[in-house]
């Protein structure tokens, strides 16, 4: 019988040295998210290798993989590999690149995938699952949801912006499997909250609703939640964006729970809140944004099902103009 919550499952005892030697983990990229979770795994003694580009490899070899966090600063000197040197299969591939870098990342890490390799993606949205399935087959995939607020500073250090740091993973069909036990053993007890989910697709959709609605409203109005709700009508716009995205998810068969919506309504209308989205932070520093995967894909699914999403549409057009302008 499946456990009913996301609490760590009882069949996963503390990792032993023998277990660690068997589970070889490849972390694709050493950016804000992959670098944080992979760094904590390496710090905890797991067998972690980072697949990085040559420039990032030089930075890490020179200064270490540096984490600045309220949970403890760390400088780690992990194993590194570039795509041209990647050879043997790994047990777990942890993938957390930006969606616009996914195609390139897939080509880079493909040699690491063997018949028994588990690919654990923690990207935003859902479309990446289709691309990964096309290349590696559905059997290779787990679903994943990470919640962490991190960014790279000018020195390449990973800076944690808030104290939450969780990673959930699960089989797409909701089943309990031996390989899920193995992944749980590898990730639990590594300095962040890790747990098995038996409804991972629902979790992924709820995160998508949160990211899309928060990203749409903060990027469209160019402000944090506190700044938006301080203006007459701002709170109503925040709630409208949330309801649009929730309506698309519901039409696609993944309605957000009432508790989730209640929590997000409170967060999106909180006076004085500094809350923003990762997409807004990328926009503010003139970096690429995940407009197609976070907003565009959700918008397209909603249009196909006849869901009206004017705020989502406006945000998508706005950010698409910005994204195209960056290329010239």
Question: What are the catalytic residues?
Answer: 207
Residues with Cβ < 8 Å from 269, sequence gap 6 or more? 225, 229, 235, 238, 239
Contact yes or no for 33/150 (Cβ under 8 A): yes
158-170 and 143-152 strand pairing? antiparallel
Q: Residue 85 is encoded by which pair of tokens?
A: 């040197």
Contact yes or no for 251/207 (Cβ under 8 A): no
Q: Residue 150 is encoded by which pair of tokens?
A: 């991190």
**How is residue 308 annotated by DSSP?**
-
Contact yes or no for 131/103 (Cβ under 8 A): yes
Plot region of 51 (φ>0 → left; ψ -120 to 50 → alpha; else → beta): beta
């Amino acid at each position: 019988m499946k456990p009913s919550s996301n609490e760590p499952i009882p069949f996963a005892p503390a990792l032993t040295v023998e277990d660690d030697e068997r589970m070889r983990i490849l972390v694709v990229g050493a950016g804000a998210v992959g670098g944080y979770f992979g760094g904590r795994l390496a710090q905890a003694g797991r067998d972690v290798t980072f697949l990085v580009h040559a420039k990032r490899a030089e930075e890490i070899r020179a200064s270490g993989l540096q984490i600045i966090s309220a949970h403890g600063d760390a400088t780690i000197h992990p194993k590194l590999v570039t795509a041209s040197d990647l050879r043997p299969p790994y047990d777990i591939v942890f993938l957390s690149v930006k969606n616009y870098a996914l195609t390139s990342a897939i080509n880079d890490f493909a040699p690491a995938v063997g018949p028994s390799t588990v690919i654990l993606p923690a990207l935003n949205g859902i479309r990446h699952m289709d691309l990964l399935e096309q290349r590696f087959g559905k059997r290779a995939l787990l679903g994943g949801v990470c919640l962490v607020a991190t960014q790279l500073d000018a020195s390449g250090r990973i800076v944690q912006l808030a104290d939450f740091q969780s990673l959930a993973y699960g089989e797409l069909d909701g089943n309990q499997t031996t390989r899920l036990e193995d992944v749980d053993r590898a990730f639990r007890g590594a300095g962040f909250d890790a747990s098995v989910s038996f409804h991972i697709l629902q979790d992924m959709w709820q995160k998508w609703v949160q990211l899309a609605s928060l990203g749409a409203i903060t990027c469209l109005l160019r402000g944090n939640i506190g700044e938006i709700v301080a203006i007459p009508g701002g709170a109503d716009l925040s709630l409208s964006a949330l309801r649009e995205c929730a309506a698309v998810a519901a039409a696609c068969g993944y309605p957000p729970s009432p508790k989730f919506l209640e929590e997000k309504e409170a967060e999106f209308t909180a006076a004085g809140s500094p809350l923003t989205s990762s997409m807004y932070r990328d926009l503010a520093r003139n970096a690429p944004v995940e407009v197609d995967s976070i907003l565009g894909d959700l918008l397209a699914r909603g249009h196909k099902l006849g869901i009206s999403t004017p705020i989502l549409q406006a945000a998508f057009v706005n950010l698409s103009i910005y994204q195209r302008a960056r290329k010239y």
